[in-house]
Amino acid sequence: MKLVFAGTPEVAVPALDALLASGRHEVAAVVTRPDAPAGRGRRMVASPVAERAEEAGIEVLKPLKPRDPEFLERLRQIAPDCCPVVAYGALLPRVALDVPAHGWVNLHFSLLPAWRGAAPVQHSIMAGDEITGASTFLIEEGLDSGPVYGTVTEEIRATDTSGDLLTRLAFAGAGLLAATMDGIEDGTLKAVPQPNEGITLAPKITVEDALVDWATPALRVDRVVRGCTPAPGAWTVFRGERLKLIQVTPVPERTDLAPGQLAVGKNSVHVGTGSYAVELLWVQAQGKKPMRAADWARGVRIGEGEVVGR
């Protein structure tokens, strides 16, 4: 089939690579979000998908909105059979959805209908799921509600951050998306409507969502930290300033600390929660680089009875 691939961040690049390597389909063009300012200099930078497409010598389309008349006209000229999508980042209007004969097929990083929305991986970790995966589905105008072509499953490991899990899903999902294109082309794959039961939503995680509540159990604190790493980054407050929490680990044997209470050992920093303590392993103070929590604690000279969270 002739394909137009739509995607923007680094997590979409493995799927583009898989389609380019398949040898079975032609990736005629790539659609991605416009260049955006990045880094300290805030210079305009192309998306990872745009950079990969340019390396491969593929036409890159960067509409401000996918309903722009110039973009729609170029899409009709290319006349793709199907448009595979991975984390494109913009809502596709009906006028665009109707262009390819086989529609737009999205790779979504959950087992639909669970975790429909922008942050499925973060929510699956924060909810304590043991299994997640990726799904390919036909895009409709609803939120991730279209019929599903196929799925792959992935175990959520006890120490997984959302970054770790998303990396694994990006590569597993790339193979799924390529196989879905093959199945659509040869007519062996039919999309199956999603069930009406088991629908959960995964809206974007805000900075406010990433604030750790020390009154919740240790397992919840650990899940919030892992789910919000690397972005937007879990955090708490210490002496009136934000302290980013990069890695913690539950310490079930320690139950003597009140929620938010700090206890500093020779090489450890423990914090009380609503159940038992967690150990801070890596933190980042405001305006500083990430560091081991024990080094941070020595530097700030934590006093007896000090707390985090207020």
Q: What letter would DSSP give residue 31?
A: E
Q: What is the pLDDT of residue 235?
A: 98
Q: How far apart are CA 139 and CA 55, in angstroms?
A: 28
Task: Dump pLDDT digits (tens) for 61-71.
Answer: 999 999 999 99
pLDDT digits (tens, 9 = 90+) for 119-166: 999 999 999 999 999 999 999 988 999 999 999 999 999 999 999 999
**250 is annotated as contributing to ligand binding:** no
Whole-number pLDDT of residue 282: 98
SS3 content of the chain, % helix, strand, coil (to 5): 25, 30, 45
Task: Look at 76 and 42; give whichever has higher pLDDT.
Answer: 76
Cα atoms in the 13 Å half-sphere on the side-chain side of 227: 26
Mean pLDDT of 263-271: 95
Spell out the domains of the chain, with CATH numbers in brackets: 1-184 (3.40.50.170), 205-298 (3.10.25.10)
**Stretch among 31-40, 232-241, 256-265 having the lowest mean pLDDT:** 31-40
Q: Residue 42 pLDDT > 90, yes or no?
A: no
Residues 219-258 pLDDT 10s: 999 999 999 999 999 999 999 999 999 999 999 999 999 9
Q: Is 113 annotated as ligand-binding? A: yes
Cβ partners under 8 Å of residue 24, min gap 6: 181, 182, 185
pLDDT band at 39 (very low <50, low <70, confident <90, very high): confident
Predicted confidence band at 40 (pLDDT cuts at 50, 70, 90)?
confident
DSSP letters, 58-124, are -EEE--SSTT-HHHHHHHHHH--SBEEEES--SPPPHHHHTSSTT-EEEEESS-TTTTBSS-HHHHH
Buried b (16+ CB within 10 A) or exposed e, 292-306: bbbebbeeeebeeeb
Contact call for residues 155 and 111 (beta carbons, < 8 A): no
Instruction: Find, among 198, 201, 208, 250, the residue nearest to 228 by Cα.
Output: 208
- Mean pLDDT across 197-204: 97
Short-list 278, 241, 275, CA closest to 263 = 278
- pLDDT class of 304 with cuts at 50, 70, 90: confident
Among 113, 111, 114, 109, residue whose Cα is nearest residue 170: 109
Rounded to a whole number of angstroms, the distance between the first and last alpha carbons of the chain is: 58
For the chain, how many helices (H) and strands (E)?
8, 15
> Strands 26-31, 59-61: parallel, antiparallel or unpaired by DSSP?
parallel
- Over residues 50-61, the mean pLDDT reads 97
Q: What is the CA radius of gyration of the chain?
A: 22
CA distance 285 to 22: 46
Mean of pLDDT over the chain: 96
- pLDDT, position 164: 97
From CA 110, how far away is CA 128, in angstroms rounded? 14
Query: What integer is the mean pLDDT of 109-117?
Result: 98
